[in-house]
Amino acid sequence: MFKRVLIANRGEIAVRVAATLQQMGITAIAVNSDPDRGALHVTSADEAYPLEGSAAAETYLRIDKLIDIARKNKVDAIHPGYGFLSENGKFAAACENAGITFIGPKAEVIRRMGNKVEAKQVVQQVGVPIVPGWSGGATSTKELAIEAKRIGFPLLIKAAAGGGGKGMRLVTNAAEFTDAVESARREATAAFGSDQVFLEKYIARPRHVEFQIFGDEHGNVVHLFERECSVQRRHQKVVEESPSPALTPELRSKMGDAAVRAAKAVGYSNAGTVEFLLGEDGQFYFLEMNTRLQVEHPVTEMITGLDLVRLQLEIASGGKLTFTQDGLLQTGHAMECRIYAEDTARGFLPSTGTLLAYEAPRGPGIRVDSGFEEGSEVTVHYDPMLAKLIVWDRGRDESIRKMQWALERFVVLGVTTNIGFLRALLANPEFRGGRLHTHFLEEQRIVEDSGDAPPVESLIAAALGIDGAARIGKGKSSLRSADAKDAFSGPWTQADRWRVA
């Protein structure tokens, strides 16, 4: 087993990976940008080394700096987390070249699955269904238009090198096609440096159902069941759960087999996720494969009782999977809500500032993964996800009730969050009934209940909690990050005037 592992990431995933490393007796080594010097992922590590700069492009995305730090500090493996360099074949190759183990699949596998066009060709060859479409190489817009007619409308234009919805267009008729291709190409070039696009039949009201897979370096591959991630906004997942309310045991076994076949087709090792679209008719189609640990991996950990990071480390150091498919059980129901610093009422715009209050809920079957603590700054430089709130219970109804309870007790002040929105979402009858699809949020138009006049109790709490008279006339009129920072360390933010005698 490794002795010193560097975590090439930040935030909650770096905190989570460090915990498993330390529990296994491995030294957890963090890296940090300048604004992250005092961040939770640094203070929870055993050692930390600076990546000078602020923006991701000059810090967490710098392969040269990371390899340099790893070499100087005798690191024997690097865990990439998710995002940043986790699906960058060049980074995996740079690690291999430097004699450092990259905790993930081989560089060549990352590269092949990273190209969405090639990935589809590979899995199709082993009989995994893909969405009808066209995915040839670089082609003129005219030739694409002919293919579009063959597939039929509505269809989707997608960037070959893309993800996250960039370079994606929905075209409902032939007249819109040419403009849409040109615009998708421009966006794809700006975002990924490649204007290659592909076409896909548009599946109405599909679910997003993905399978966690694990392979070792001895040819064994298993799946750790599904996660339903249909509740998305702007192609970003908001709620994930397992089991999916849509899967029967038969369908689960069919999709799981397909996921394992897809992984075996590329000689996959370590943790990966095979994403499927599931139509209303029960037909499923391969979407893409993520060659890394997913944000929503705790959902799988809750229903299997496994530590996926530990498995990753065991496999990366040459170990064999210690269980077979038949030995795995999907127990109870787990659900994750992503807590974002964002203003859902204003189009999910990110919100920044200081976490003047941050208290995560606690209780049996409740897990909170976060890279923030009270006093942390939420900056424009990185992802606005504050925390992942995960619950486990016997069944879906119980999980939803537990999630509601936990959301009600999640205290965040200083930045705007989606907690109120999530509460409204969980109360939605369609959500409760498990009738989900990827356009669910747009269709249901869930609105946070902002409440009417504040109840008397909130006025009393405000009066007790503040030292009102002392502040009138010397305050500023809005919450701003810089002011908030001063205020947080200042003596007058949180007054104690009404101390109990």
Query: Which amino acid would we find at residue 159?
Result: A
Told to check if 401 binds other proteins by CB under 8 A, we report: no
* Distance between CA atoms of residues 243 and 3, nearest Å: 36
The secondary structure element, H or E, covering residue 289 is strand 284-290
Nearest Cα residue to 221 out of 313, 324, 302: 324
Told to check if 465 binds other proteins by CB under 8 A, we report: yes
* Distance between CA atoms of residues 455 and 280, nearest Å: 44
Told to check if 400 binds other proteins by CB under 8 A, we report: no
* Distance between CA atoms of residues 321 and 214, nearest Å: 8
Query: Please, which residues bridge with residue 197 across strands?
Result: 159
Told to check if 57 binds other proteins by CB under 8 A, we report: no
Told to check if 447 binds other proteins by CB under 8 A, we report: no
**Which is nearer to other proteins, 126 or 495 (by Cβ)?**
495
Told to check if 475 binds other proteins by CB under 8 A, we report: yes
* Distance between CA atoms of residues 114 and 131, nearest Å: 18
Footprint of other proteins on 318-377 (CB under 8 A): 346, 349-352, 356-357, 359
Query: Which among 9-17, 217-225, 238-246, 460-468 is the span making contact with other proteins, rule CB under 8 A?
Result: 460-468
* Distance between CA atoms of residues 340 and 349, nearest Å: 10
Q: Pick one of 413, 424, 430, 435: the residue that binds other proteins (CB under 8 A).
A: 413
* Least distance in angstroms from the C-beta of 27 to other proteins: 31
Q: Pick one of 138, 380, 427, 447: the residue that binds other proteins (CB under 8 A).
A: 380
Told to check if 183 binds other proteins by CB under 8 A, we report: no
What is the Cα 178 distance to its own chain's centre?
33
Query: Which amino acid would we find at residue 221?
Result: V
Among this protein's residues, is 471 annotated catalytic? no
* Least distance in angstroms from the C-beta of 457 to other proteins: 5
Q: Are 78 and 316 in contact (CB under 8 A)?
A: no
Check residue 322 and report its DSSP letter. S
Query: Please, which residues bridge with residue 210 across strands?
Result: 227, 275
Told to check if 469 binds other proteins by CB under 8 A, we report: yes
**Which is nearer to other proteins, 249 or 451 (by Cβ)?**
451
Q: Pick one of 21, 419, 422, 425: the residue that binds other proteins (CB under 8 A).
A: 419
Told to check if 445 binds other proteins by CB under 8 A, we report: no
Q: Pick one of 132, 420, 424, 434: the residue that binds other proteins (CB under 8 A).
A: 420
Cis peptide before 243 (omega within 30 of 0): yes
Q: Are 277 and 287 in contact (CB under 8 A)?
A: yes
* Distance between CA atoms of residues 155 and 133, nearest Å: 8
At 172, list the tokens: 């409902």
Told to check if 150 binds other proteins by CB under 8 A, we report: no
488-493 long-range Cβ contacts below 8 angstroms, 24+ apart: 488/354, 488/356, 488/375, 492/467, 493/356
**Which is nearer to other proteins, 146 or 460 (by Cβ)?**
460
Told to check if 436 binds other proteins by CB under 8 A, we report: no
* Least distance in angstroms from the C-beta of 374 to other proteins: 10
* Least distance in angstroms from the C-beta of 456 to other proteins: 6
Q: Which of 62, 292, 396, 423 is catalytic?
A: 292
Q: Are 82 and 65 in contact (CB under 8 A)?
A: no
* Distance between CA atoms of residues 271 and 286, nearest Å: 17
Told to check if 473 binds other proteins by CB under 8 A, we report: yes
Nearest Cα residue to 258 out of 155, 374, 140, 125: 125
Told to check if 219 binds other proteins by CB under 8 A, we report: no
Told to check if 414 binds other proteins by CB under 8 A, we report: yes
**Which is nearer to other proteins, 143 or 467 (by Cβ)?**
467
At 491, list the tokens: 């003596």
**Which is nearer to other proteins, 136 or 454 (by Cβ)?**
454
Q: How far is residue 84 from each of residues 55, 271, 333, measured CA to CA in Å?
A: 12, 17, 30
**Which is nearer to other proteins, 281 or 457 (by Cβ)?**
457
**Which is nearer to other proteins, 75 or 419 (by Cβ)?**
419
**Which is nearer to other proteins, 56 or 63 (by Cβ)?**
56
Told to check if 489 binds other proteins by CB under 8 A, we report: no
Residues that bind other proteins (CB under 8 A): 164, 234, 346, 349-352, 356-357, 359, 380-384, 408-409, 411-414, 419-420, 450-466, 468-469, 471-481, 483-484, 487, 493-501
The residues that are catalytic are: 292
